[in-house]
Structure 1
Amino acid sequence: MKLKSVDIDMIARSLLTSLISAIFVSMLQLIGSPYFSFFGILIFTCIFFCFYLVIASPLQIFLNQRPKKFSILYLAIYNVFSGVITGIVAMIFGIKNPFHSSEFYFLFIMCAFLFWIVDSILLQKMMNKH
């Protein structure tokens, strides 16, 4: 597969996708939590944004060499990466086996699904116009 050139617009849209996804995930993660506040959302958004920026954005740019809206294959790929990264982060924070926790599965599926939705709506639409 010949790779397309990556322009500044694609990078900017990828950053916007990461930011919007991080805000949504932060809000969903904190709903019903005693930490639900503007400051809590801001902190969680920064944390999730860093992960999306370092891991999901390069993957997104690679996958968008062949843009497909709402591709189930892209969702599966995002889920695999999200599961691996969420598992590694959970183990770093001292959870011995996160794979036995329903919260683990909820978090990584939610992170991948929201990123996929925002990617399909925002970036894929803009990519098809160019």
Structure 2
Amino acid sequence: MRKYLFATVILLLAVSAPAVHASLPFSTVFKGQDRFERLVNQAREGNWKALPIGDRTATVGRALTGTPYKNYTLEIDDTIEAASVNMNAMDCWTFFEIALAFARMIDEPEANWTPERMLHYIELDRY
């Protein structure tokens, strides 16, 4: 009985231990810093933060109109799955995902309007 109890405790500890996961370089998970900064400036100048979330998302989407289409924007690595943003090219899903994440991000204080914070919202939606 003790063996089973001990084995169960060890198994539970192993399962609940924090996962150590590899991460990719920032330059791999976020592309288009210049485009991001231009969008931040547009949001600031247009006071997009004051808009309701739906209107804010649509406004971001309109600002992204004309971005080149690219297949397989989510496949950035063969072994590591990671939240990613490519502001320079997107498919239909990442277009929506980026517009929503950006709209959520600009609801925060301007100090948080960063690529890292945007990636947080991408990860929140995706995973």
TM-score bucket of the superposed structures, by smaller chain: 0.3 to 0.5
Larger RCO, structures 1/2 (Cα 8 Å, 6+ apart): 1
Query: TM-score of the superposition, structure 2-length normalised?
Result: 0.44
Larger helix proportion of the pair: 1
